[in-house]
Structure 1
């Protein structure tokens, strides 16, 4: 799993809280935390001032309340919490997996679970609305699909093809193993 981690684990940039106009860049690499600060001022003495840089190891960042406060004030409490988690070794591997591999993994889920997954993050929403996702869904999950339909699906779009030819309003959905995935309605008396 360590191979999924790049050199840079996280990076964010933004302007400091009002009234400051200073610009900040916060970066977490595999072994250190870096906070860069550019002073933005109309004063002549600040014109050629280089950025200030604070570097800290993970263990020092976890203990450095001042640096944590700086990160929280500029980027918010959620970014600070996420940064602390990364420094404690709690990596978000799911967000680091390549799209093709994620689509392959998602193909083993039932369709309703894929839609729940789309609500997890912007990335999953984008993946679940991609043409590649719908192509895999039609090809793998629709027993009535024939290769003759591929040109039509490419022209119409795979998502439209799915909802036009294969989706029947939740009345008869089968997963890729042939199991009925619809919930039974109330029985007639």
Structure 2
């Protein structure tokens, strides 16, 4: 007896892709611990067509060669390998439980997390979350966020808050640098005026 797929579990990953030209179709992929859901918006048949959804257990994906090829063609080899590893219960860095993955990221430098994001689509999606950007904020600025920053994050997200703070820091740094250059260029500013008796 086959289990019924349950998408109400916690989502491990959500990806979106566009079909290769000249096709304009869009695809969405949701991956949980035990199943995947593929949504297909067939734009070529008109913009108002409802998406078609296919929900499949991971163990069924392992057996379904046609679905494997579809995933590989639409989402790429990295996503395909990720799904196959999940289905075969192979433990790798990218398919560790979320809490464990985040715990590992805590020990990396901010620059290393940014490099990890650039390795492939899976790591980009896993690291491009609010929890990771909050962690990056704390690592880079070496402090906890203020109440004002928390409010900003609710509206814009932690990535944007970090970008704004970094832009402000660069601006202040450049202003201070310019001020020091002016002081060094004008030697009379630094000398104390001695009054004659």
Distance 1:49 1:90, change over 3 A: same
Are 1:70 and 2:73 counterparts? no
Which residue of structure 2 aligns with residue 135 of structure 1? 142
User: Could you state the TM-score of these two structures normalised by the residue count of structure 2?
Assistant: 0.48
Which residue of structure 2 aligns with residue 179 of structure 1? none
* Corresponding residue to 2:20 among 3, 17, 22: 17
Distance 1:135 1:99, change over 3 A: farther
Deviations 1:91-150 (A, max 9, x none): 5366823898557x52xxxxxx848844651349978964545638xxxxxxxxxxxxxx
Distance 1:71 1:126, change over 3 A: same
Q: Counterparts of 2:11 and 2:142 in 1: how far apart (Å)?
A: 33
Deviations 1:17-44 (A, max 9, x none): 1221111001112321111101102x5x
Query: Is the Cα contact below 8 Å between 2:15 and 2:29 reproduced in 1?
Result: yes
* Corresponding residue to 2:98 among 96, 99, 123: 96
Q: Counterparts of 1:115 and 1:13 in 2: how far apart (Å)?
A: 26
Distance 1:99 1:80, change over 3 A: closer
User: Could you state the TM-score of these two structures normalised by the residue count of structure 1?
Assistant: 0.50
Size of the aligned set, in residue pairs, is: 125
- 1:27-176 alignment, distance < 5 Å: 27-41=30-44, 46=46, 48-90=48-90, 92=94, 96-97=98-99, 106=107, 114=109, 117-118=112-113, 121-122=116-117, 123=127, 130-132=137-139, 135=142
Return 5+ residue gaps in structure 2 as ranges. Answer: 1-8, 118-126, 144-168, 174-197
Q: Which runs of 4+ in 1 moved over 6 A?
A: 124-129
Q: Counterparts of 2:135 and 2:41 in 1: how far apart (Å)?
A: 39
Which one has the bigger helix percentage? Answer: 2
Q: Counterparts of 1:120 and 1:78 in 2: how far apart (Å)?
A: 17
